[in-house]
A and B are shown apart, each in its own frame.
Chain A
Amino acid sequence: MADTVFELKQVRYRYRDLVALDDLNLRIEEGSRTVLLGANGSGKSTLLRILDALYFADAGSVRFRGRELDERAFESDEFAFDFRRRVGLVFQSPDVQLFNPTVFDELAFGPLQLRWPRDQIVDRVESVMERFEIAHLRDRPPHRLSGGEKKRVAVASVLVLDPEVLLLDEPTAALDPRSESQIINLLASLGDGKRTIIIATHDLNLAFDIADGCVLLERGRLAATGDPREIVRDTELLGRVNLIHEHLHRHASGIVHSHPHRHPHEH
């Protein structure tokens, strides 16, 4: 039986008057690939930040491998460095994630913060750049990268630490189809049974293609959990949480009707 990586019990988080997460109970197993589905404002990004210990729950309990994740735990450098090496978050906007002057500096940032030896950092960065086919971008500043290149560098800058848990916030957002498929292929190649992957998205295709577990959020609460293929087929449920819409359309046969559906079409 797989170990539990994250365990959340009755977690609540609010931004001033807005409750972002409410009474959330969740368990993430080691090696799983879980997709957090939900419409905009459903609490996906907030949940990822709680899992990455950037936010701390107002109520309830968040545990990583049995250890409570609270502010007191992060007062210890030893625990903080260990957690940051083991859990990595790829932010939705690469412009937030890429804050160093060059691509090389970006990949070296994490290992530098964790006090790795210089030679180890250089070797590791060179190796990751080769794997992600971004070695030719090493001295390029982030503002001169394309959208797809930025996303690859952003993912590489987290994977350079070889985290056992990878959190991704809308990894395919604002990407052209080719870049999107490159990222999806990359994510599929990362699932080796040992690395735990959690992806926040409203892209139903991503859930279908990559995930083996699905958590559906609605206004900060758990709406459903289970097999992503079953959840993605439940049009009534998806319509209720605003992930799909109902519109009027005409078929080639001349029939005009409306029904809830997700794109691409299935008739």
Chain B
Amino acid sequence: MSRTSAGFAERSIHSLLDAVDYAAQAEKRAESAGLLQAMDARLKLAGVLLVIIAVVTSRALVPIAAVLGGSILLAIGSGIRVRAIATTVWIPALLFTGAIALPSIFLVQHGARSAAFLVLRSVTCATLSAVLVFSTPWPALLKGLRALRVPAIAVTILGMTYRYLFSILDVARDMLESRRSRTVGVLTGAEERRMAAGAAGVLLSRSVLLSREVHFAMLSRGFRGEAFTLENRPILSHDWVYFSGFSVAAAAVLWFGR
């Protein structure tokens, strides 16, 4: 049965499998050898943030375009396919900001320049963010947020959300496969909607039960309401070299974009 003619269960199973597959590929890419993968996540996050702030405050297009070019080079050096960035970042960014910027070309004096700034800034910042995420394992990225004084409880919640996303995906897939194995014929639209609503309700119920059990597991190992994290990777000398590179880039953008 082709995916286009498949029912709700089949389409949903395909989507869930695609999501899990995408996440697995992203994890492998973030853990592979590469230029940015070798850098400490905390300094990488701080460096990217510095450059993003510089891009947002720049009043010249050329420095912003230079950062975009540099981001693409960093992506290539880190084994991140440019096509992946184009499909996940550039196309959505261009469509979204382009739709906002387009009227200003005709309605505002120097509208074309304003539109160019808006589009180029958003695409550049989004590209930098994507390169950061693609080159950093999610747990390391979350710990990096602690270096920026993001509260430990927020980092803990985000970490557990990521961790249990896969458990919930597995449960959802099993539920749908079970339903598909017991369904004969083609369901009407109304039947599919009822099935979807029922599945969502069951999934929510099981999530609530799971969260209760996880809370007990946390209590059992001493949790008293406060969250703590531990960074076990030391910052090495080459991490500071990388960070210096980001700092110089940010300073250059601020200077030439003033």
Q: How far is the CA of A139 from the CA of B143 in the complex (A)?
A: 13
Is there a chain B Cβ closer than 8 Å to A226's Cβ?
Answer: no
A113 B220 Cβ-Cβ under 8 A:
no
B227-254 CB mask vs A (1 if < 8 Å, else 0) is 0111010000000000000000000000
Q: Interface extent on B, as a size class?
A: 20 to 34
* Nearest A residue (CB) for B226: A113
Are B221 and A141 interface neighbours, CB within 8 A?
A: no
Expressed in whole angstroms, the minimum distance between the Cβ of A53 and any Cβ of chain B is 9
Most chain A CB inside 10 Å of its own CB: which residue of B24, B159, B160: B159
Q: How far is the CA of A179 from the CA of B222 in the complex (A)?
A: 28
Contact of A101 among B138, B213, B220, B223 (CB under 8 A): B138
A52 to B220, CA, bound (A): 7
Contact residues in A for B230 (Cβ distance below 8 Å): 105, 108, 112, 118, 121-122
Docked complex: A54-100 residues within 8 A CB-CB of B: 54, 77, 80-81, 84-85, 88-89, 91, 93, 95-100
B139 with A96: CB separation less than 8 A: no
For the complex, count residues of A whose C-beta is within 8 A of B. 39
**A101 & B222 in contact (Cβ 8 Å cutoff):** no
Given contacts A139-B137, A142-B163, 20 further A-B contacts (CB under 8 A): A54-B216, A85-B222, A91-B213, A91-B216, A91-B220, A95-B167, A96-B217, A98-B163, A99-B163, A99-B164, A99-B214, A99-B218, A100-B160, A109-B218, A110-B221, A112-B228, A114-B222, A141-B27, A141-B166, A158-B221
For the complex, is A161 an interface residue (Cβ under 8 Å from B)?
Answer: yes
B224 contacts A99, CB within 8 Å? no
Please name the residue on chain A nearest to B218 by beta carbon.
Answer: A99
Residues of B within 8 A of A (CB): 24, 27, 31, 137-139, 142, 159-160, 162-164, 166-167, 210, 213-214, 216-224, 226, 228-230, 232
CB distance from A79 to the nearest CB of B (A): 12
**In the bound complex, CA of A102 to CA of B213 (Å):** 19
The interface residues of chain A, by DSSP majority, are classed as helix
CA distance A52 to B217 in the complex (A): 10
Q: Which residues of B contact A143 (CB under 8 A)?
A: 163, 166-167
In the complex, the answer to whether B139 meets A91 with C-beta atoms within 8 Å is: no
A residues at B contact (CB < 8 Å): 49, 52, 54, 77, 80-81, 84-85, 88-89, 91, 93, 95-102, 104-105, 108-110, 112-114, 118, 121-122, 139, 141-144, 157-158, 161
> Closest CB-CB distance, A47 to chain B, in whole Å?
15
A54 near B232 with CB under 8 A, answer: no
Which residues from B are CB-within-8-Å of A77?
224
